[in-house]
């Protein structure tokens, strides 16, 4: 029996064995609470702070600007909610995109429903390319937060955050980027940038689940969401995990160290997959189109819409389940919203109908993806599509 093929790396990546080895001692021998003053606690406290320093160095930030969290969702919530609650008596204008992750969109919707927060949406074209004109129309000096992700998690689009953040800085506003899908896939440095807040999480670049970080540039107003301890310099109460922090730092180190090698390999398997898929679908009557901005995207993520010879209405996730049945794991978009009634909000925002979105898939690669994996998957997609079209 052939092992199932995993092509859902934008949801999570496998843990790098080198990362696991670095973490092991902190699950057994070095288990102390970093807040304890005895030697057990101080050993793990040192490991925690060493990891913070390493992460800060690799991102070109200061250690005092790195705050650990449970992952991307918490960091995004901390960025947008924490910014508002730093001065809740003042109204807040937020500019974001309808293509953002729900971990940004839903906290903003909650804030706008309950408080004096006005949420506006930046324009995009049919490929998801952000249109930056119009940012200058905001009043200079008003309380402004702009949140645009660096790499779109469903399309793979690379957004022009340097241009946007510079415009925001000139207005006296603050800029947040969800950089979760960017680390290890595009060069990323906080030094000299106009980014005020940045979200990262370890499990997207072969690190452990359960840990992320929020970069908070010095001088950026943020209030804590969690209270009950002085952890993370009073910004995030809760016992830190030295094991996860060590794994986070090691995974980041490896991702940056091996960036060029991994990028070459993933570009190769991505191109091979598209060529093989085209060949597999030849004469089947089934075609596909690429969603997203073809000229400004990462190779790690392909978002494809398939077109059957006859119109077919599908229930939620039928295509994904059909692919799983033939041994290939893919997704329709963010894992945080899979299994819901509605298909991808990103594809709907691009103008896709619900039926078109349900015949779309996000296929994402990792440094562990092989030629065999993509050749097998490209052969199985027609099989799954024919099954659901009957």
- Give bridge partners of residue 331 from the DSSP assignment: 362
**Confidence band of 140 (pLDDT split at 50, 70, 90):** confident
Please count the residues of the chain: 390
Residue in 41, 80, 2, 12 with CA at minimum distance from that of residue 240: 41
Catalytically annotated residue among 318, 336, 348, 349: 336
336 classed as catalytic: yes
Quick one: pLDDT at residue 330?
96
Residue 10 near residue 245 (C-beta atoms within 8 A): no
Torsion of CA 230, 235, 237, 242, to 10 degrees: -90
Distances (CA, A) of 388 to 9, 110, 234, 286, 287: 25, 38, 53, 12, 15
Say how far apart CA 51 and CA 197 lie, in whole Å.
19
Residue that the structure tokens 């937060």 belong to: 145
Are the beta carbons of 28 and 44 closer than 8 angstroms? Answer: no
pLDDT tens per residue across span 343-352: 999 999 999 9
Please, are residues 80 and 94 in contact by the beta-carbon 8 Å criterion? yes
**For residues 206 and 309, what is the distance between their CA atoms, to the nearest angstrom?**
39
Query: Residue 263 above 70 pLDDT?
Result: yes
The predicted structure's pLDDT at residue 3: 84
pTM for the whole thing? 0.95
**Dihedral sign, CA of 109, 113, 115, 120?**
positive
Question: Is 338 a residue whose pLDDT tops 60?
Answer: no
Q: Is 294 exposed, middle or buried, given 0-12, 13-18 or 19+ CB atoms closer than 10 A?
A: exposed
Taking residues 201-221, what's their average pLDDT?
Answer: 98
3-state secondary structure of 200: strand
What does the pLDDT average to over 95-102?
Answer: 98
Average pLDDT rounded to a whole number, residues 141-158: 96
**Mean pLDDT estimate for the chain:** 94
For residue 274, what is the DSSP state?
H
């Amino acid at each position: 029996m052939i092992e199932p093929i995993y092509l859902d790396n934008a949801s999570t990546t496998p843990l790098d064995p080198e990362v696991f080895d670095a973490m092991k001692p902190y699950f057994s021998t070095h288990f102390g609470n970093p807040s304890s003053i005895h030697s057990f606690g101080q050993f793990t406290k040192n490991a925690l702070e060493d990891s913070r320093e390493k992460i800060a160095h690799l991102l070109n930030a200061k250690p005092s600007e790195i705050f650990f969290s449970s992952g991307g969702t918490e960091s995004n919530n901390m960025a947008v909610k924490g910014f508002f609650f730093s001065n809740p008596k003042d109204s807040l204008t937020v500019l974001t995109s309808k293509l953002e992750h729900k971990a940004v969109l839903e906290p903003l919707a909650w804030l706008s429903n309950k408080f004096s927060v006005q949420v506006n949406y930046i324009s995009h074209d049919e490929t998801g390319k952000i249109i930056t004109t119009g940012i200058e129309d905001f009043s200079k000096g008003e309380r402004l937060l702009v949140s645009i992700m660096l790499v779109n998690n469903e399309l793979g689009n690379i957004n022009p955050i340097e241009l946007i953040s510079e415009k925001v800085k000139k207005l006296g506003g603050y800029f947040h980027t969800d950089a979760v899908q960017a680390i290890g896939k595009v060069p990323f440095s906080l030094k000299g940038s106009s980014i005020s807040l940045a979200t990262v999480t370890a499990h997207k670049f072969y690190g452990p689940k359960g840990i992320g970080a929020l970069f908070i540039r010095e001088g950026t107003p943020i209030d804590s969401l969690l209270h009950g301890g002085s952890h993370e310099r009073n910004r995030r109460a809760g016992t830190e995990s030295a094991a996860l922090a060590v794994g986070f730092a090691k995974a980041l180190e490896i991702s940056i160290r091996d960036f060029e090698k991994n990028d070459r390999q993933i570009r190769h398997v991505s191109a091979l997959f598209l060529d093989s898929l085209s060949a597999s679908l030849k004469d089947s009557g089934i075609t596909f189109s690429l969603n997203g901005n073809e000229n400004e995207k990462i190779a790690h993520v392909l978002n494809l819409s398939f077109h059957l010879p006859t119109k077919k209405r599908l229930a939620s996730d039928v295509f994904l389940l059909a692919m799983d049945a033939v041994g290939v794991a893919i997704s329709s978009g963010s894992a945080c919203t899979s299994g819901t009634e509605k298909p991808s909000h990103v594809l709907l925002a691009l103008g896709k109908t619900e039926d078109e979105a349900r015949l779309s898939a996000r296929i994402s690669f990792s440094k562990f993806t092989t030629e065999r994996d993509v050749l097998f998957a490209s052969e199985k997609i027609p099989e799954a599509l024919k099954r659901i079209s009957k």
